[in-house]
Each structure stands twice: as C-alpha cells, then as structure tokens.
C-alpha cells in the first residue's frame, strides 16, 4: 500500500524532518508510528498522504509513484485512496453531523440525498444514530472524533491516516475510537496511526518508532 525508499524532507533553514526513511506498509495492516514531538512522525504522515512532496527519495502509494504525478493528480489520488483523521476534528459547527459526514462525498458525483443517506447509515454504525441532527459543539470529544472518522471513511478509501486521533480524548473515549479503527481494519482498510502515546502504539499489531527524522 505504501513504500518509502530513502526519503528525506528538508524545510527552509536546513531542518531535516526526515533523514533517509525507508519503510513498507502492506495492504490491510494496522500500525502505529510513534515518537516524541519533533521526531518526524507528522511529516511522515504528510508525505505518506500526498499532502507534501519529499525532498529526495521515492514514495509510492498503491503503486503510484508520487514524483510522477501533477498536483491535480495528487489531489485525485487523495480523494480516491486516502481518508484523513486529525486530532482537532476539523468539523463545521454550523452544520449537523450528518451534513459534516456527507461532505466527505462532496466531490464524488453522488447526489445530495444519497450522500446524506449514506452519512446517516455510517453514523448509526459508529453508535451515533441518536445524534444525527446535532451539531459538533453539542457532542463530546469522543463523539466528535467518531464523526470525523465517519467522514474520512464514507468514500470507502483503502487507506486511512490518523494523526493523534485520541490525543484530546479521555481514556474511555480513546479506547472507543481505537476499537472503531480496529473494526475498520478488520473490514480491510489499511490504517496508520500517528501517536506520541507508547501505550496506544504497543496495543496495535505493528509499531514503528521514530526519532530525529529516522526510524529507530
């Protein structure tokens, strides 16, 4: 699903966020990339998710060499192959949670009624069927993260990248979110979780540890 070969990422000022990273992530894996702040793990997610181009090296996603793709083609790849979940949820407070999740299909060509129907079905699957008309500010942190995950996977992407998905949650809500990710993985989704929490990382089938821009 993902292959990085001797990948570097150098920012202005000569900061080496990634310093020669090589890793293969197989289709259907569930794994954590763990490390302290500044270790390069979030940069790794941005490179894996085609959100940022590497400085050197080679990145392939589902067989696509990212260096050969235009910005438009990268946008299409992200839309069709990758779902993103972020710590801050990024939900629109002026919309119901059904509308938020339905927006995950906004550029798919699916009609509005069908988008909302699929969103409602998915929210019921993640235990929020009783909250469909609520707005994000009316939900707990754990509930909002489940909405964010539903929005990320409504298009059934084969790859899900989650950046600190439990970082703002209490332990119970965090475990609920991890249980949801495991369930998605059981259905075939490849999932990469970026975290600084070693306990969370240790509970997943595979753990990659980063420090100072390299895999250790």
Counting other chains too, the contacts that 7-14 makes at CB distance below 8 Å and 24 or more residues apart are 7/47, 7/54, 7/56, 7/57, 7/58, 7/59, 8/54, 8/55, 8/56, 8/57, 9/40, 9/43, 9/47, 9/52, 9/54, 9/55, 9/213, 10/55
**pLDDT score recorded for residue 173:** 87
Pair of tokens at residue 75: 């946008």
| Bridge partners for 56 per DSSP | 8
Q: What is the CATH number of the domain that holds 152?
A: 3.40.50.300
Q: Residue 36 sits in which domain range?
A: 2-215
Contact call for residues 148 and 86 (beta carbons, < 8 A): yes
**pLDDT score recorded for residue 102:** 94
CA distance 56 to 17: 12
CA distance 46 to 104: 19
**pLDDT score recorded for residue 124:** 92
Of 15, 6, 108, 158, nearest in space to 67 by CA: 6
Contact call for residues 142 and 176 (beta carbons, < 8 A): yes
Report CA torsion sign: 90, 43, 182, 24.
positive
Cβ atoms < 10 Å from Cβ of 122: 23
**Residues 32-46, mean pLDDT to the nearest whole number:** 94
**pLDDT score recorded for residue 104:** 87
Residue with tokens 């979030």: 42
**pLDDT score recorded for residue 84:** 93
**pLDDT tens figures, 151-209:** 999 989 999 999 998 888 888 888 888 999 999 999 999 999 999 999 999 999 999 99
**pLDDT score recorded for residue 169:** 84
Element (H, E) at 74: helix 71-81
**pLDDT score recorded for residue 159:** 97
**pLDDT tens figures, 9-24:** 999 888 899 999 999 9
Cα 196 from chain centroid? 15
Total domains in the chain come to 1
Contact call for residues 168 and 87 (beta carbons, < 8 A): yes
**pLDDT tens figures, 65-123:** 999 999 999 999 998 899 999 888 889 999 999 999 999 888 777 888 999 999 999 99
């Amino acid at each position: 699903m993902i292959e990085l070969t001797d990948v570097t990422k150098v920012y202005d000022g000569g900061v080496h966020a990634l310093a020669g990273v090589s890793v293969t992530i197989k289709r259907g894996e569930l794994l954590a990339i763990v490390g302290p702040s500044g270790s390069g793990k979030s940069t790794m997610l941005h490179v894996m998710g085609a959100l940022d181009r590497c400085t050197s090296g080679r990145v392939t996603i589902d067989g696509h060499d990212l260096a050969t793709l235009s910005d438009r083609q990268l946008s299409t790849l992200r839309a069709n192959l990758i779902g993103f979940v972020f710590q801050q949820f990024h939900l629109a407070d002026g919309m119901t949670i059904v509308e938020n999740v339905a927006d995950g299909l906004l550029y798919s060509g699916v009609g509005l009624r069908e988008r909302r129907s699929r969103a409602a079905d998915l929210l019921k699957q993640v235990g929020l069927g009783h909250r469909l008309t609520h707005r994000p500010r009316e939900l707990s942190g754990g509930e909002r993260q489940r909405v964010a995950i539903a929005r990320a996977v409504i298009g059934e992407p084969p790859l899900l990248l989650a950046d600190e998905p439990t970082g703002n949650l209490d332990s119970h809500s965090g475990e609920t979110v991890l249980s949801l990710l495991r369930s998605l993985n059981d259905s075939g989704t490849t999932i990469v979780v970026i975290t600084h929490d070693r306990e969370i990382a240790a509970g997943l089938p595979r753990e990659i540890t980063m420090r100072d821009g390299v895999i250790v």
